[in-house]
Structures are given as C-alpha cells and as structure tokens.
Structure 1
Amino acid sequence: MSHYNSFLRIPGLALRQKLRPLPRIGVLDADVLRLRVWPQDVDFNFHLNNARYLSFMDYGRTRLMAATGLLLPAIREHWTPLVGSISITYRRSLGFWAPFTLSTRILCWDDKWIYMEQVFNGRDGLAAIAWVKGLFRDEQGNVPPQRAIDRIAPGTLSPPMWEPLTQWNEVTKEKLASGK
C-alpha cells in the first residue's frame, strides 16, 4: 500500500487530466486536498507516520501541477520533477481515521528552484507545515523555473523571495560546500 501514490494515484491523475481536467487555478493559488488517515498511514502510536506526510506531499505537488495546468506540458516535454530540499515541522498529531487537508502552493522561484509551501490542517488546526524547493530537469539539464511558469502563466514574475528561504539556501550551500 505504500506505493499507492506512486503507482496508482499519480498516474491516475495524469490520465484524468487528459479526460476530465481539474478546474484550473492560478500559478500562485493554493490547491487543497481533503484526505483521511487510513490504517496503512499510521505508525505504532496510531498517528500519521512521518514518511506518509512526505508521500502525501508528493501527491499534493503533482496535483498542484495538474490544477495549474503544468502537468501535461511537463509530461509532453519529458520534464522530471525533482525535490532538492524539504523542511517540515510537525505541530500536532493526525490520528487514526482523522480527516485533514493538505494545502499546496508556489511561493516564489529563482533561476533554479521553485519554492512551495505545504500545510496540513486537522480538526484541531495546524498539524504540520513544510517548505519545499524543487525543479524540473530534462535531457539538457535543469529547466529554468521561469520557462516552466511561462508555459501556464506567460509573463508572470516571481513574488519576492522570503528572507527565511534565502537563509535556508545559504545554510544549505555552506553545509554542502563543507562536505560534512
């Protein structure tokens, strides 16, 4: 069951986009999924397992691509979506059978990365929040984010980069450069 998103849900979403596309949203709008914690999603404490958060996030980002209209061009152009980094903070548990929402939105982009925010909310409020930086890659290398955005919203420029995202990048670069 752990591969449900990878082998059923995501390919099913791509097929659906061909037959009956999701309603379109703007490139900077949030896509909200309504989900539930199922038996295969829980750990020994009977709450949503930390790995399943990441799996739901994968699906949320793919669905955002579909809702913004980016999924089909990415498939046609053979762009591979890749995650470079994720920072997630857990606030509250999502227990067995609990309903929750996952909101995914693009915050901004630079010359290499697209920055996204993904928020899990349960009945008691914020359960987890994550920041993700990702990119597309094709046979020639990284696809400039502006090129991808122009496929769905020509001329749309990135909102200003949040200072914490800039700091996150700097800390990551320093750590990678040190090799430790």
Structure 2
Amino acid sequence: MNLYFRLIWLFIWRIRHCNSIGFLDTSRISYRVWPLDCDINFHVTNSRYPAFLDLARTYMMAEMGFLKKFIKLKWMPIVNAAEFTYIRDIKPFTKFEIETKIVGWDEKYVYIEQRFVSESTLHCIVHVRCVFVCGGKQVPIETMIKEVNFEGPVPELTPEVIKWKQFLQLKKERNI
C-alpha cells in the first residue's frame, strides 16, 4: 500500500522538481526503507524491489523530459524480462538510492541497468528488457529513438547483457 503513496508523491512533487539528464545519463532517486517494505527477516522483501524499480524508471523518463510526451503519445512501457542479482540486504530505515540508466538497445528491446546503493554499499543489480506499446502494438525502436531526439551511436551492450540476451533466447527456443 505504501508504494501508492510513493507513486502519488512521485507525480505530485518529485517529477515537478527533478533534474534534467541526457538520454544515456544515470538517473538517481532516493528512498528510505519502511517497515512495510520488509519481510519477516527484517530486510527489504524480494517482491518490493520490482515495485521500486518501476518508480525509478518512471522518474528516469521524467528526468529525460519524455514522460509527458510518452503519456501524450499513449506509449506504455512494458517490462519483457528482468534479472536480479542480490548482493547485500537492505535493512529497515536505511536510506538508499536507485541508479537507473539505459545501457543500450537492439532491433526490438531497450536494456536498462538499475542498481540499489546505500552510502558505499551495492545491494542489488538488475537488468531490465523493455518495450513501448501503443494500441496493442510495439512502438519500433527507431521511432522511439527518433522521438527522443537521440542522434549518437548505439552504445555497445555490456557482456552481462549480451549473455543474458542469449539465455533469454535459449529459454524461448526450448519452450516453444
């Protein structure tokens, strides 16, 4: 329930007062762990991470200046796949930051890396594969890149993302 309050706060206050970043820059948003974010082990429950990530990606689009434009175009961001690597737990009342950045794209998907960090501790690294859809159809990557006015070279995907893409393709082929 408290993520609804965080979502409302995001739209009412944080987006209106956010920084401006470039398309490939890192977005940073901070939160504090409240008791309702925790499980019986007194750390952030695994199911809470994806919800925080949704808020951070929304904030990133606002910092890039595209959130209003994408809403107006009726483009809906859809997560196609995500992989989590949990490194250190996050305890109650800890202030942490989520760092979000686009690490590249291919002919179909945008790849995003998100990190949970507090002080100098890395807690979790997440890779997310996303698409935008409009009217039930995928928005072509070329259209999205053109809409955001990005004219630089396509960044090379990291070795981790390349291996993850291969793994996702293997899963798809083995389960068709």
Same fold (TM over 0.5): yes
CA contact (8 A) 1:113 1:135 kept: yes
User: Which of the residues 22, 25, 28 maps onto 2:24?
Assistant: 28
Identity %: 32
Task: Name 1:144's counterpart in structure 2.
Answer: 140
CA contact (8 A) 1:116 1:132 kept: yes
Deviates more, 1:78-87 or 1:157-166: 157-166
CA contact (8 A) 1:14 1:71 kept: no
Task: Name 1:167's counterpart in structure 2.
Answer: 163
Deviates more, 1:136-145 or 1:48-57: 136-145
The unaligned stretches of length 5 or more in structure 1 are: none
Equivalent runs, 1:122-137 vs 2, <5 Å = 122-123=118-119, 125-137=121-133
Equivalent runs, 1:25-174 vs 2, <5 Å = 25-123=21-119, 125-139=121-135, 141-174=137-170
Distance 1:118 1:48 in 2: 16
The CA deviation string for residues 138-163 of structure 1, in whole angstroms up to 9 with x for no partner, is 12611122322322234233211223
CA-based RMSD: 2.1
Distance 2:152 2:46 in 1: 35
CA contact (8 A) 2:42 2:91 kept: yes
Distance apart, 1:117 and its partner CA: 0.6
Distance apart, 1:166 and its partner CA: 2.2
TM-score normalised by the chain length of structure 1: 0.87
TM-score normalised by the chain length of structure 2: 0.89
Aligned pair count reads: 176
